[in-house]
Amino acid sequence: MNGSTGMGRNIARRLLRNRLAAAGGLVVVFFFLVAAVPALFTSQNPDRIDVANILRPPSAAHPLGTDDLGRDVLARVVYGARVSMKVGFVAVGIATSIGLVLGLLAGFHGGRVDAVLMRFVDIMLCFPTFFLILAAIAFLSPSIVIIMAVIGLTGWMGVARLVRAETLSLKERDFVAAARAQGAGTLRIVFRHILPNALAPVLVAATLGVAGAILTESALSFLGIGVQPPTPSWGNILTVGKNYIEFAWWLSLFPGLAILVTVLGYNLLGEGIRDAVDPRLKGR
């Protein structure tokens, strides 16, 4: 217990010393707060139509302007953050859970189980993920639940390969042999000894995966097959913005900046966690 606590403190200390990672962490915390408590950032209703204020530029009343129906862009960007965060976390949660289970099974049992599961991973990797998602959603009615499920079910392969590689290495270590010698069963060895030691690269992959899921959801919504209006999403705000980009620049600029800053924050935090977990990787 003390060893794990000390290791956790060392990782946290290295992470805080990394300025880019700390900046990424602040961005992640900020947008998480925006998504969790949108009322702190706007008092406007994101769905309120105001025909008297259509396509108004940024002003005191509407800091980020209004859209083609007179809706407040700040309110829609703020409430759109809730959609993006939800999609990111739930989709990555699904992908990580599947990847953990399959990676542990393949790495621990090896042999035929490993061969079958890894060939399945290879087959899944042959398909371009985004087009696989497009094909799946084309047969289903687009909704936030379907989007989260499809992104999660098509994004677990990298986690599975990471966990398998870690498990193959860990199961040959002395502490696993000692646990076997003491009569520990398979489940105890896997969940008590192997899984906790294999979580570090999974945490990095999950952090980077949230950024990828947010980008995927935004792209799907931009194409019109993601989150459907009137539910605000950064992607469908951009869809409206492209029709008025010549004179209503704020409709494209602000949701685009939200996507850029959020994805950059998760990427910086993920890279920082990777360097903190294994400082030898820094500079490679």
Q: From CA 60, how far away is CA 43, in angstroms rounded?
A: 13
- Partnered with residue 72 across adjacent β-strands are 66
Total tally of structural domains belonging to the chain: 1
Amino acid at 62: H
119: CATH: 1.10.3720.10
Residue 63: what are its φ and ψ, rounded to 5°?
A: -55, -30
Find the largest Cα–Cα distance for the chain.
77
Residue with tokens 């060392």: 10
Per-residue pLDDT, 178: 85
Q: From CA 54, how far away is CA 68, in angstroms rounded?
A: 5
Residue 72: what are its φ and ψ, rounded to 5°?
A: -70, 120
Instruction: Say which residues have a Cβ less than 8 Å from residue 252's Cβ, sequence separation at least 6.
Output: 238, 241, 242, 245
Q: From CA 141, how far away is CA 139, in angstroms rounded?
A: 7
Q: Which of 117, 185, 113, 214 is CA-nearest to residue 157?
A: 117
Q: From CA 175, how far away is CA 193, in angstroms rounded?
A: 8
Answer whether 70's CB lies under 8 Å from 53's CB. yes
Q: Which of 113, 137, 117 is CA-nearest to residue 125?
A: 117
Answer whether 166's CB lies under 8 Å from 201's CB. yes
Q: Domain span at residue 241?
A: 2-281
Per-residue pLDDT, 284: 45
State which residues of the chain have pLDDT below 70: 1-8, 11, 278-284
The tokens describing 281, both together, are 């990787």
Q: From CA 5, how far away is CA 73, in angstroms rounded?
A: 45
- Partnered with residue 66 across adjacent β-strands are 72
Q: Which of 49, 79, 59, 82 is CA-nearest to residue 250?
A: 59
